[in-house]
């Protein structure tokens, strides 16, 4: 019979390095759950969010509140005394991608293991999570200026149609409201099709990492309500002012802000006077709901590839399942 651990400890004598992944769509409560688990089992969190890596993008990306008085031993972003890795690590001016994320996430993981802590991967960027946990290898594909110039002449709808015809599964992992992200996806796909080499993304490395994943997936009506409540809170917290500051004080171009999609895309258009506040809010709410749906599609697709997840519908259920997983390793 497996022994039950006392609270606030983690089974450090395990033979395999173990990681717990808390995943799910936006506004499902992942961050709260990850923090509670980290507090109970002496853990640290690796953020898996494609926008929270950027400094200054706080309210719009939904970062947890940063501690301002706690001592930071691990040089990580602290929230409720828990170290969060890969938050606030680069300027919004800097390009960041899945390859850079993999490298830095593995570095953070080794760091956490060296302190005999429980690593917890938390986020909703499914493409990054799968790439990291399954050690997928990606080709180093430089931007193709000639191809980009040609693709930039097409409308978003034309770009999306082409992407669906080439790789319909890729759509589930993208912010399809953002033409720049669609162009980059097409750039990679077309490069691989014209290359004589075997597709590097199909290879994986052998890893000693043992991990289990919990996906928080509330009923749609609850999730959509959470999304609307959270959006209203972000407006009250100053999300529009944050994005205005990124442009005027941090000198981030409007085009770059739009490229981050969702909140940054629609609020930028509002600040440029292209749409009213009411239209911006409605379109943004619709886009976030569509994004949450695509996130769910990605996780279900991942499961069909053979990975078994624990699907739960609430934060309370997620905490109970995490307890069973950790205490009976």
CATH of residue 219's domain is: 3.40.50.300
User: Are residues 314 and 245 both part of a single domain?
Assistant: yes
> Could you tell me if 165 and 227 lie in one domain?
no
The boundaries of the domain holding residue 176 are: 145-201
Q: What pLDDT score was predicted for residue 162?
A: 84
Which residue, 180, 201, 222, sits at the end of a domain?
201
Same structural domain for residues 51 and 159?
no
Our count of domains for the chain comes to 2
> Is residue 223 situated within a structural domain?
yes
Same domain membership, residue 221 and residue 259: yes
In this prediction, residue 180 carries a pLDDT of 75
Q: Please enumerate, as own/partner, the contacts of 166-172 that have beta carbons within 8 Å and a separation of 24 or more.
A: 166/190, 166/193, 169/301, 171/294, 172/126, 172/294, 172/297, 172/298, 172/301
User: Do residues 88 and 169 share a domain?
Assistant: no
E-strand ranges in the chain read: 18-23, 43-48, 77-79, 82-85, 118-123, 210-216, 309-312
My answer on whether 172 and 126 are in the same domain is no
Q: How far apart are CA 59 and CA 65, in angstroms?
A: 9
What are 269-275's contacts with CB under 8 Å, separation 24+? 270/240, 271/240, 271/243, 271/244, 271/247
Q: Is residue 46 part of a domain?
A: yes
Q: Which residues of the chain have pLDDT under 50?
A: 1-15, 196-204, 206
Q: Does residue 85 sit in the same domain as residue 26?
A: yes
In a domain, 128, yes or no: yes
Query: According to the model, what pLDDT value does residue 106 have?
Result: 96
196 plus 232 within the same structural domain: no
Kindly state whether residue 191 falls inside one of the protein's structural domains.
Answer: yes
The residue out of 176, 201, 226 marking a domain boundary is 201
Q: Are 217 and 100 in a shared domain? A: yes
Which pLDDT does position 6 carry in this prediction?
Answer: 44
Q: Are residues 105 and 73 in the same domain?
A: yes
| 215 plus 111 within the same structural domain | yes
For 280-320, the pLDDT digits (tens) are 999 999 999 999 999 999 999 999 999 999 999 999 999 99
User: Quick one: 82 and 221 in the same domain?
Assistant: yes
The verdict on residue 107 lying in a domain is yes
């Amino acid at each position: 019979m497996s022994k039950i651990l006392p609270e606030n400890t983690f089974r450090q004598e395990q033979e395999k390095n173990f990681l717990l992944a808390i995943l799910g769509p936006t506004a499902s409560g992942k961050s709260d759950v990850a923090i509670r688990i980290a507090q109970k089992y002496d853990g640290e969190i690796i953020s898996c969010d494609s926008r929270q890596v950027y400094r200054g993008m706080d309210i719009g990306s939904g970062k947890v509140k940063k501690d301002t008085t706690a001592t930071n031993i691990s040089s990580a972003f602290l929230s409720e005394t828990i170290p969060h890795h890969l938050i606030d690590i680069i300027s919004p001016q800097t390009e960041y991608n899945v390859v850079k994320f993999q490298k830095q996430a593995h570095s953070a993981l080794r760091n956490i293991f060296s302190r005999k802590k429980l690593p917890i991967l938390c986020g909703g960027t499914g493409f990054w999570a799968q790439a990291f946990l399954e050690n997928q290898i990606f080709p180093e594909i430089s931007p193709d200026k000639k191809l980009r110039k040609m693709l930039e002449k097409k409308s978003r709808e034309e770009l999306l149609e082409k992407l669906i015809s080439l790789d319909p599964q890729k759509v589930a992992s993208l912010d399809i409201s953002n033409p720049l992200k669609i162009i980059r996806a097409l750039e990679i796909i077309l490069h691989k099709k014209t290359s004589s080499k075997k597709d590097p993304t199909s290879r994986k490395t052998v890893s000693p990492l043992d991990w289990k994943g919990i996906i928080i997936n509330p009923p749609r009506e609850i999730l959509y309500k959470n999304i609307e409540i959270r959006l209203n809170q972000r407006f009250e917290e100053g999300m529009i002012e944050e994005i205005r500051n990124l442009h005027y004080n941090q000198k981030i171009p409007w085009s770059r802000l739009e490229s981050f999609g969702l909140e940054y895309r629609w609020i930028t258009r509002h600040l440029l006077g292209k749409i009213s506040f009411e239209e911006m809010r409605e379109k943004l709410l619709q886009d976030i709901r569509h994004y949450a749906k695509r996130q769910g599609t990605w996780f279900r697709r991942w499961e069909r590839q053979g990975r078994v997840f624990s699907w739960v519908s609430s934060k309370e259920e997620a905490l109970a399942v995490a307890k069973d997983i950790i205490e009976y390793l």
